[in-house]
Amino acid sequence: MELCVHLSYALKFFSTAVVDNLDHNPTSATATESFHGTGISIIQHLCHQSGGCGRNIMVINPHRSSSTRSVVPLPSKYTNVPPAALKSKKFSAPLVNGPVALHTLNCVEEAKLDELQWLNVVMAALEKEQLDSADWVSWSAYHAVLQQEEKLAAISALLPLFTDSAHSVTMIKHSMTLVQAAIQHLNPSQTPVLSADQPLFALAKQTKWTWPDTLGENHIVVVLGGLHLEMAVLKVKLIACTIINVINCAIFLGTWRVVGLQWVDCCTSSGRNHKFWHGRLFYQSESRDQDNCLVHMHVRKILFAS
């Protein structure tokens, strides 16, 4: 298959791809057109353990005059989007062969210990009358100080854009095919990984289940984008942590009225609370999740101390 891969990419690095919609709605009174296209990016994650190898830059025609203004067209297999349609609107997830649970949860336990250590640092800082310059109370600042290892910058490039809308089976299937071919060229031993936001993720999963022979679980992995994944986790955590905090405070204080709705509304007005539960106010939801953890830790400390 004819490829369209940026020259900055190297070989034998773990690579992931991202597909997303590109929308441009001009606000000018004289504007007559809008753009709703599709963009595909490939990110190579560099690491110190794997050095990878460079690619030989190929010069198409060194004797060509620099005054030529014509542009070499893209490969037809890249620009031509073949039509596709879902065969059915009813889908069932394929059966998984083998265990689906992790053999070990050491990474989860280590993450819990890191979070517990941050909570202990914050609780100790709250007992001080005046904070020192080395007291990092916020979650982000505390973990940023702990990251001493130098991280290698990833190699990222945007492939040529498509004028077709991303919210279609045709474009999603074509994007998955292009990602397969590009990853196979850059890192043949790797299963391609494609990330998308929630609407495109659902469409990509339906596409995988419709064409399992070429786009099945053994051929390409589709994951939810980091932002939407964290929004879904925050939605569950906010509801669960708030309920636990209300119950703990009610047990300790002997009444359900003290915390109740006051804790639910403490961070924002009641008109915006529903956005917290849906994780739409992302940064505010992150801050509230940290507040929930601190309140839960503080209440537990009081309960066990008494």
Q: pLDDT (tens digit, 9 = 90+) per residue, 105-146?
A: 677 778 778 888 888 888 888 778 787 777 777 777 787 777
Classify residue 65: in a domain, yes or no: no
26 in the same domain as 172:
yes
b vs e for 3-23, b when ≥16 Cβ sit within 10 Å of the residue's Cβ? ebbeeebbeebbbbbbbbbee
Q: Which of 136, 144, 115 is nearest to 237 (CA)?
A: 115
Are both 22 and 163 inside the same structural domain? yes
Could you tell me if 219 and 179 are in contact, meaning their C-beta atoms sit under 8 angstroms apart? no
Judge if 173 and 76 occupy the same domain.
yes
Residues 125 and 258 placed together within one structural domain of the fold: no
Instruction: Tell me the two tokens of residue 218.
Output: 């053994």
- 271 occurs within a structural domain: yes
Same domain, 245 and 137: no
Q: Do residue 50 and residue 30 come from a single domain?
A: yes
Q: What is the pLDDT of residues 222-274, one digit of tens each?
A: 999 887 777 777 777 666 666 665 655 555 444 433 443 344 444 444 444 44
Among candidate residues 224, 259, 281, the one where a domain is terminated:
224
Instruction: Identify whether residues 45 and 137 lie together within a single domain.
Output: no
193 with 298, same domain? Answer: no
Residue 194 domain-assigned (yes or no): yes
Same domain, yes or no, for 220 and 259?
no
121-to-80, 116, 125, 200, 289 alpha-carbon distances in Å: 57, 9, 6, 40, 17
| Whether the predicted pLDDT of 39 surpasses 80 | yes
Domain identity same for 174 and 216: yes
Structural domain count of the chain: 3
pLDDT digits (tens, 9 = 90+) for 27-37: 766 767 778 89
Domain hosting 125: range is: 111-146
Q: Is residue 103 included in any domain, yes or no? A: no
Q: How far is CA 255 from CA 90, 137, 240, in A?
A: 49, 31, 20
For 223, the 3-state DSSP assignment is strand
What pLDDT does 89 receive? 81
Can you tell me the distance from the alpha carbon of 297 to that of 301, in angstroms, rounded to the nearest whole number? 6
The pTM score is: 0.71
Answer yes or no: is 207 within a domain: yes
The C-alpha atoms of residue 276 and residue 288 are separated, in whole angstroms, by: 9
Q: Looking at the structure, do residues 180 and 276 belong to the same domain, yes or no? A: no
Please, how many CA atoms are within 13 Å of residue 126, restricted to the half-sphere of its CB?
11
